[in-house]
Amino acid sequence: MAHPSDIPGSHSAWLSRLPKGVRRHHGAGEVICRPETRSNRFFVLDAGLARICLNAASKELVIGYLRPGGLYVTHTRAWVEALDPCEVVSWPVEEMLGLVTREPELGATAFREIGSLLNGALSLIEDIAFRSVESRLARFLLAEAQAQGGNRIRLVEPTEALANALGTSRQTLSTLLNRLIREGVIARPDRRHLLLLCPDRLRDLSELSSG
């Protein structure tokens, strides 16, 4: 068992008012939760990296990533898969509902933080509907640089999975990446990393509409 105050991040103010959560380890490639799971819990990713995705008709759509401090509620139609070895701490949803009853202000903060997943899903829909593939790629690279804390970013997915997440083909994504490399906007020091050489150019590209 783990106590909420042991978890890093901005959630400790309200997590610390909950009973101890259950800590579990998940190896890379292991499913953390799946749609058919009966359990109705919420969890915090304490360590590692995981992806949230939808699966249908042998296709997969990544709708977001969980990094340390990220929150997730299991009662959805999405899967959560560990990309790196992960540690999660979970509680029954009823514990959070009880917090809302006892301390509405803290409960509202909890719901607001958990609702960030919905915001990310809506942003993905907006990008696919209204922005060009080039714009979606630029926005992804800038978001990853912010999330990873620097202009050297680790590609957490292979090219095909990243292309699916951006709503395009592997060939189109490879073409766009190679063009940005030729133009000196990014560099690729190795297969798993990209270096953002010109973030201002990426910000310009991120505003392109789908026409």
pLDDT at 5 over 90: no
**Higher model confidence: residue 101 or residue 24?**
24
Task: Indicate the helix (H) or strand (E) that contains 132.
Answer: none
User: Whose CA is closest to 12, among 92, 51, 69?
Assistant: 69
Mean pLDDT over residues 38-62, rounded?
79
**pLDDT in the model for residue 164:** 79
119-155 pLDDT, tens digit per residue, is 666 666 666 666 888 998 998 899 899 988 999 999 8
Q: Which two tokens stand for residue 72?
A: 């997730």
From residue 184, alpha-carbon distances to 9, 38, 166, 199, 207 in Å are 36, 50, 22, 11, 19
Token pair 């360590």 in the structure block, residue = 47
**pLDDT in the model for residue 165:** 78
| DSSP states of the chain | -B-GGGS-STTHHHHTTSPPBEEEEE-TT-EEE-TT----EEEEEEES-EEEEEEETTEEEEEEEE-TT-EEESSSS-EEEESS-EEEEEEEHHHHHHHHHH-HHHHHHHHHHHTHHHHHHHHHHHHHHHB-HHHHHHHHHHHHHHHHTSSEEE--S-HHHHHHHTTS-HHHHHHHHHHHHHTTSEEEEETTEEEES-HHHHHHHTT-B--
Q: Which two tokens stand for residue 153?
A: 């970013």
Q: Are 135 and 208 in contact (CB under 8 A)?
A: yes
pLDDT at 102 over 70: yes
When pLDDT is cut at 50, 70 and 90, the band that residue 3 belongs to is very low
**Higher model confidence: residue 26 or residue 104?**
26
Domains along the sequence of the chain with CATH: 4-122 (2.60.120.10), 132-205 (1.10.10.10)
pLDDT at 202 over 80: yes
The CA distance from 144 to 147, in Å, is 5
Q: Which range (12-26, 101-115, 135-149, 197-211) has the least confidence?
A: 101-115
**Higher model confidence: residue 101 or residue 103?**
101
12-44 pLDDT, tens digit per residue, is 566 777 778 889 999 999 999 888 766 778 888
The CA distance from 200 to 142, in Å, is 10
Q: Are 88 and 23 in contact (CB under 8 A)?
A: yes
**pLDDT in the model for residue 9:** 46
Helix (H, G, I), strand (E, B) or coil at 42: strand
pTM: 0.63
The chain-wide mean pLDDT, for the chain, equals: 80
